Amino acid sequence: MPALVIGTAYDIMSKIAPPRAAFVDHPVGRTFGPPHDSSRHHAVLSRALAELPRFSYSGEIRDIGCQWSPGGGREWEAELRAEMLHDR
Amino acid sequence: MPFEYLPIMAHNSAPKPPRVIATPKRRAWCPITKPLNESRVALLSSAALRLANQEPFTPREDLSYRRVPSDPNSGPIIIDHHSGIGTVPRQDPEIVFPRSILAALVADGTVGALSPWHFSFMGGVRRHQEIENELAPALADELATARVDIALLVPY
């Protein structure tokens, strides 16, 4: 059965090599966007689904161009790192 | 440069060894044979999701799964996964399990149909052999029974 992974962890998806993976550049646990932002959730899922016919080989990861911060800032990484290191 | 999760996971595993990331020996590939607007779609989530009236996921190494109704009006989603990142997704599980948006995409004709069920299980389990030999085949059977054409897996 055709399967598509929609994920935030590029390094893990690279190792696992699922048949098709859509990379969303968001923090883990916020794959489709901030809470209660349904237009953003719609946009992320629609972009991921639109990639389906474009995959051409198993293990391909396609960046669907979704950034967490509107300007592409990476400030969220420090917060996520602290959150995850606290999670032991 | 995407955020790197593996070093943090290794740090958090200590003093246990880091989790083994299993790279498949043989890569799977099933061609897509139908357009999306004629396809039946199911979500799979490793966030250990369920409805309130379903049995909770309890142990960290839980190998069970839940059928979660695809109808967004069937009740709120509960996240049982033990990960500390759950504070934000518990405010709105749609951010890891876009059940309502997928239903809306069916309503507007972008997606052909919904599976009656989506499926969820516990991510981060270390019992890899049992996942491969028991959990994964059971989920594959469920998807086949529901006549799903495309499975969307959202890791947690």
Say how far apart CA B10 and CA B49 lie, in whole Å: 25
Residue B111, pLDDT above cutoff 90? yes
Q: Is the pTM of this model over 0.80?
A: yes
**Which residues numbered 113-132 in B keep a CB inside 8 Å of some CB on A?**
none
Band (pLDDT 50/70/90 cuts) for residue A46 is very high
Band (pLDDT 50/70/90 cuts) for residue B42 is very high
Interface check for A1 against chain B (CB to CB < 8 A): the answer is: yes
Interface check for B10 against chain A (CB to CB < 8 A): the answer is: no
**Which secondary structure element, helix H or strand E, spans residue A85, and what is its range?**
helix A76-86
Round the CA-based radius of gyration of chain B to a whole number and report it: 16
Nearest to B2 among A3, A11, A29 (CB): A11
pLDDT digits (tens, 9 = 90+) for A50-81: 999 999 999 999 999 999 998 989 999 999 99
Contacts of A36 (CB under 8 A, 6+ apart): B91, B92
pLDDT digits (tens, 9 = 90+) for B70-82: 999 999 999 999 8
ipTM (interface pTM): 0.95
